[in-house]
Chains A and B, each alone.
Chain A
Amino acid sequence: MPFTNKPQVFNAKINTVELGVGDKKIAIGGENVLPFYTFDAPIENLPKIGVEISDAGVENEVEGIKAFYEGCNTVAERAKKAATMPGADFLAIRFESADPNGENTSVEDCVKVAKEVAEATDMPLVFMGCKNVEKDAQIFTAVADALQGKNILVLSAREEDYKTVAASAGLAYGQKVGAESAVDINLAKQLNVLITQLGVASANVVMNLGSAAAGYGYEYVASTMDRVKAAALSQNDAMLQMPVVTPVSTETWSVKESMASEEDMPEWGSRETRGVDMEVVTAAACLASGSNAVILRHPQSVETISKLIKELA
């Protein structure tokens, strides 16, 4: 019997969201098929890769990362360097040092760094916080204001601070807003409802559905993303049609497989290889589950995932 291809093309599609301005501007989302189902229909925008740059420096990073940024002394210099990384589509600046329980870098200093980065590079910019809800809301508001017109994305607005973050970044300053939920599909939808009810256009919203390193509950991430994409495409659920941006590196570089030194775990082999492996397998799984963009740290991971995307597309 001859094989008859029946393309599974949906009438619904994921929203297209643009980040950045000028020649380096990128678009994520826009597809009306399941992740990498290019045999059903072409994918409008291939998944994109962001490079995570922490304002805390690279002292604690593995050798490959240190070597890549050698000679760079500021966040802006590292951003400029990261823009040259093969496979990088955007930069994700993380204000790790702003944590009130850590260095407690001031909001003003974060804004200063953000401005320097925006001057140093024309790559699309994403800003990540320090995970302290109050401080993050202040930083995102101030940075969104300072970089008006740059079409940045702030990661993220959460249940606790979405009113402040979405109203400032999304409404007042015309930036893109990430709606963050921690592997909770009902909350993911609810946040999108609440943010759009504030008046933020759904085309200005992306979802950070949360992630986990492979082996650390990743199966919940996969089933969450599967269900989100199924609702968005097969049930035409407008409150789940926002593209998905997943910070991978912040998860994978903080598990023991990536942290333990070779002195402590000689039988595990090179720490750097382990760390890159964890980052690559988690990112690949996220992309296969539906992430429209992943954020990674190691140059080798960025290159590997970039190759994977191109070959699967």
Chain B
Amino acid sequence: MAKFITIGERIHCISPVIREAMNTQNPEPILKRAKEQIDAGATYLDVNIGPAESNGVELMQWAVKLLQENFDNVPLALDTANRKAIEAGIQVYNRAKGKPIVNSADAGDRIENIDLAAANDAIVIALCSKAGVPADNDERMAYCQELLERGMEHGMEPTDMLFDPLFLVIKGMQDKQMDVLEAIKMLTDMGLRTTGGLSNVSNGMPKHIRPIMDSAMVAMAMMNGLSSAIVNPCDLRLMETIKSFDIIKDNDLYADSYLEI
């Protein structure tokens, strides 16, 4: 099995510092956050520029070039509702360290992002939802089928699709957690790869609880086959859990210094 893929979530325009840096095209705060995440062991970096309706094309190209030029072509997930911005980002993207990830498509009005990924030989995150949260796993798997068929119609390899079952917040949806884990198992049994926004589960919890809850959830999800996740790589406990799990799963060969690499 391949090692677990972490997609660092900390370059996100919801953060005031990053939003300001993107508005003024100021490299420093973005490079700082990128470095922190790479040093902490992130494989991919997510680049969320928000809706970016007016300047998305220019902004995404700037961000892609900035990050790849400074960090040895670090692979990126291009995260925006602006489709043209994603396409523009892929145009300047260097694939030496991995294909770009389109973040994201769903079975609703964002399904065309699958076509975009297929046309550009990219990976796509495919949310198993249409509008809002799926009610149960029957609904999840039906969306999964729709997304998978769409991808294959456009010539995608199924392994280039990362299916997101939608991690749900525990505070409020505690009774749905085992459904999500079961969905991961079903997707994995179909030979599909999976991902998701892991920190959703601990949303709203006290700061010191979140790493504990996220770590427990990632371990259970990895046990069911989760192949990647969008995470905060600066969460040391979480990264230690992922690295340890990769050892237990024999995805990575053990060495005494495994936490340092």
Report if A and B associate in a common complex: yes
Main secondary structure, interface of A, reads helix
Instruction: Report the bound CA distance from A187 to B258 in whole Å.
Output: 11
Instruction: Report the bound CA distance from A197 to B255 in whole Å.
Output: 14
Which residues from 96 to 117 on chain A have a C-beta closer than 8 Å to any C-beta of chain B? Answer: none
Residue of B nearest to A240 (CB): B253
Instruction: Report the bound CA distance from A190 to B247 in whole Å.
Output: 14
Instruction: Report the bound CA distance from A240 to B261 in whole Å.
Output: 12
Q: How far in angstroms is the closest Cβ of chain A from B24?
A: 37
Whether A186 and B252, one on each chain, are in contact in the complex, defined by CB atoms closer than 8 angstroms, is: no
Residues of A within 8 A of B71 (CB): none
Whether B261 and A231, one on each chain, are in contact in the complex, defined by CB atoms closer than 8 angstroms, is: no
Residue A237, interface by CB 8 Å: yes
Residues of A within 8 A of B251 (CB): 235
Residue A62, interface by CB 8 Å: no
Residue B138, interface by CB 8 Å: no
Residues of A within 8 A of B257 (CB): 190, 193-194, 197
Residue B175, interface by CB 8 Å: no
Instruction: Report the bound CA distance from A10 to B199 in whole Å.
Output: 33
Q: Assuming the A-B contacts A235-B3, A239-B261, are A227 and B255 also in contact, with contact meaning beta carbons closer than 8 angstroms in the complex?
A: no
Total contacting residues, chain B, CB less than 8 A: 11
Instruction: Report the bound CA distance from A193 to B256 in whole Å.
Output: 9
Q: Assuming the A-B contacts A193-B260, A193-B261, A197-B260, are A237 and B254 also in contact, with contact meaning beta carbons closer than 8 angstroms in the complex?
A: no
Instruction: Report the bound CA distance from A209 to B66 in whole Å.
Output: 41
Which residues from 236 to 261 on chain B have a C-beta closer than 8 Å to any C-beta of chain A? Answer: 251-257, 260-261
Whether B255 and A193, one on each chain, are in contact in the complex, defined by CB atoms closer than 8 angstroms, is: yes
Whether B261 and A186, one on each chain, are in contact in the complex, defined by CB atoms closer than 8 angstroms, is: no
Residue A58, interface by CB 8 Å: no
Whether B260 and A237, one on each chain, are in contact in the complex, defined by CB atoms closer than 8 angstroms, is: no
Residue A189, interface by CB 8 Å: yes
Instruction: Report the bound CA distance from A185 to B254 in whole Å.
Output: 8
Interface string of A176-198 (1 = CB under 8 A from B): 00000000011101100110010
Whether B260 and A227, one on each chain, are in contact in the complex, defined by CB atoms closer than 8 angstroms, is: no
Interface string of B110-148 (1 = CB under 8 A from A): 000000000000000000000000000000000000000
A-B contact count (CB 8 A): 33
Instruction: Report the bound CA distance from A239 to B256 in whole Å.
Output: 12
Whether B253 and A227, one on each chain, are in contact in the complex, defined by CB atoms closer than 8 angstroms, is: yes
Report which of B2, B3, B255, B260 forms a contact with A186, defined as CB distance below 8 A.
B255
Instruction: Report the bound CA distance from A187 to B256 in whole Å.
Output: 8
Whether A235 and B2, one on each chain, are in contact in the complex, defined by CB atoms closer than 8 angstroms, is: yes
Whether B256 and A190, one on each chain, are in contact in the complex, defined by CB atoms closer than 8 angstroms, is: yes
Whether A237 and B256, one on each chain, are in contact in the complex, defined by CB atoms closer than 8 angstroms, is: no
Instruction: Report the bound CA distance from A193 to B252 in whole Å.
Output: 14
Instruction: Report the bound CA distance from A188 to B256 in whole Å.
Output: 11
Residues of B within 8 A of A237 (CB): 252-253
Whether B255 and A190, one on each chain, are in contact in the complex, defined by CB atoms closer than 8 angstroms, is: yes
Residue of B nearest to A188 (CB): B255
Which residues from 205 to 260 on chain A have a C-beta closer than 8 Å to any C-beta of chain B? Answer: 227, 231, 235-237, 239-240
Residues of B within 8 A of A239 (CB): 255, 261
Whether B253 and A235, one on each chain, are in contact in the complex, defined by CB atoms closer than 8 angstroms, is: yes
Interface string of A13-31 (1 = CB under 8 A from B): 0000000000000000000
14 more CB-based (< 8 A) A-B contacts, given A186-B253, A186-B256, A194-B257? A186-B255, A189-B255, A190-B255, A193-B255, A193-B257, A193-B261, A197-B257, A231-B252, A235-B2, A235-B252, A237-B253, A239-B255, A239-B261, A240-B253
The 17 sampled A-B contact pairs (Cβ below 8 Å) are A186-B256, A187-B255, A189-B253, A189-B255, A190-B255, A190-B257, A193-B255, A193-B261, A194-B257, A197-B257, A197-B260, A235-B3, A235-B251, A235-B253, A236-B3, A237-B253, A239-B255
What 10 A-B pairs come out closest when comparing CB atoms?
Answer: A189-B255, A190-B255, A193-B257, A231-B253, A190-B256, A186-B254, A189-B253, A186-B255, A193-B255, A193-B261
